[in-house]
Structure 1
Amino acid sequence: MDCYIGEIRAFAGNYAPENWALCNGATLPINGNEALYSLLGVTYGGNGVTNFNLPDLRVKLPVGAGTISTQGGTGNYVLAAGGGATTVTLTEANLPPHTHTLTGINTPAITSSPVNNMLAASNGNNSTVTPPYPDVNLYTTLPLPAGGTTTPNATLGVSAISNTGGSQAHQNMMPYLVVNFIIATQGLYPPQD
């Protein structure tokens, strides 16, 4: 089977066949590999005087070179450019807008003593009421309109609903099967159109 010099293939073996090399970023001498060097140059590394590097596709997914439209504009993918991450930590900016609701009930107080109860912070500065708890009367008499009822309203501090989570990174990889990528070091020289 004929192949072009510089052609890359997926290979299920644990070695590179004759006239092929593993795509592992290895440094090759230019002398003896002139045809392959004329195609790759120092695109993937090397000094360009005595040596050059092969592409390194270990634990990487090849992506075609080109420009693509993205949500924020365009993405430009040039030869030998790398990107992506194996783990990602989500931030608030990565989450869709949402709210957290607090559901409660309006129940008449049965005692004016806060013993064994937690009082909400009243100043909205993420403060917490700590023991000994002050003697606070939470009952307020509201003026009752003629023939009607009234419902007291209260504003809770931002500490009433708190953040949660560990801010740990999670794996950012699709399901995969490991194979080797190999590059042809000998073969037909690819003609240009």
Structure 2
Amino acid sequence: MSDPFIGEIQIYGFNFAPNNWAMCQGQLMPIQQNTALFSLLGTTFGGNGTSNYQLPNFVGNAACGQGQGLGLTPRVMGETFGSDTVTLLYNEMPAHSHAARVYNQTVAAKRTGIPAAGDAVILPQSVAPFTTTNAVNSAFPVQTIGVAGGGQAHENQQPYLTLNFCISLAGVFPQRP
């Protein structure tokens, strides 16, 4: 492998940083010991800029290029965004319905207000949903089924493979164009 640029970030499939590299885990670095890297990174990823600066943090994050893609919002170096979980709002769900299946209990002795195993509910007072044909002659109110989902968040992560991002602490200082 050729000499890396100072500040170059590479992905490694092993669980340690090679010699003269550091894991990109957001750790604070002293400016006095790493002046060349500080001159490139500054406080883009954090730190106070007087005695320390912070390395990029890829722990639980995915890499994203800077700039603005077609139809996307602009992204700047050091910015973090996104969410591990998302709660869908009603207007974000596709239109769908949940059917209520109610069957007529032909044995009058088993018709009760609170169903038990083998029982059926009594006929509602205002509608007659139990018929001998397949034709619908009444509509159940929306409360019959109830709201689905409960408003809990669900995971919102793309498939991933765990690898280590490391940044070069030593090497060739990159020349600016």
TM-score where L is the length of structure 2:
0.74
TM-aligned CA distance change 1:152 to 1:67, over 3 Å = closer
Which consecutive unaligned segments of at least 5 residues does structure 1 have?
Answer: 123-136, 139-150
Q: Rate the CA distance shift 1:100–1:152 in 2: closer, same or farther, 3 A.
A: closer
Aligned pairs for 1:18-37 within 5 A:
18-37=19-38
Corresponding position of 1:9:
10
CA distance in 1, matches of 2:125, 2:42: 67
Per-residue CA distance 1:98-147 (angstroms, 9 max, x = gap): 44566889x9xx9xxxx63445586xxxxxxxxxxxxxx96xxxxxxxxx
Structure 2: gaps spanning 5 or more residues: 113-120, 129-134
Deviations 1:14-41 (A, max 9, x none): 2211111110111111112111111100
Q: What is the RMSD computed on CA atoms of the aligned residues? A: 3.2
Partner in structure 1 of residue 78 of structure 2: 80
Q: In the alignment, does 2:47 pair up with 1:49?
A: no
Alignment of 1:81-160 (within 5 A): 81-100=79-98, 116=112, 117-120=121-124, 154=138, 156-160=140-144
Q: What is the percentage of aligned positions where both structures have the same residue?
A: 38
- 1:57, 1:87 → 2: CA distance? 18
Determine the C-alpha separation between the residues in 1 that align with 2:74 and 2:122. Answer: 56
CA distance in 1, matches of 2:172, 2:124: 78
Between the two proteins, the alignment pairs up a number of residues equal to 161
Larger mean Cα displacement after TM superposition, 7-16 or 82-91: 82-91
TM-score normalised by length of structure 1: 0.69
Q: Distance in 2 between matches of 1:171 and 1:164?
A: 18
Does residue 161 (structure 1) correspond to residue 145 (structure 2)? The answer is yes
Query: Matches of 1:157 and 1:120 in 2, distance apart?
Result: 11
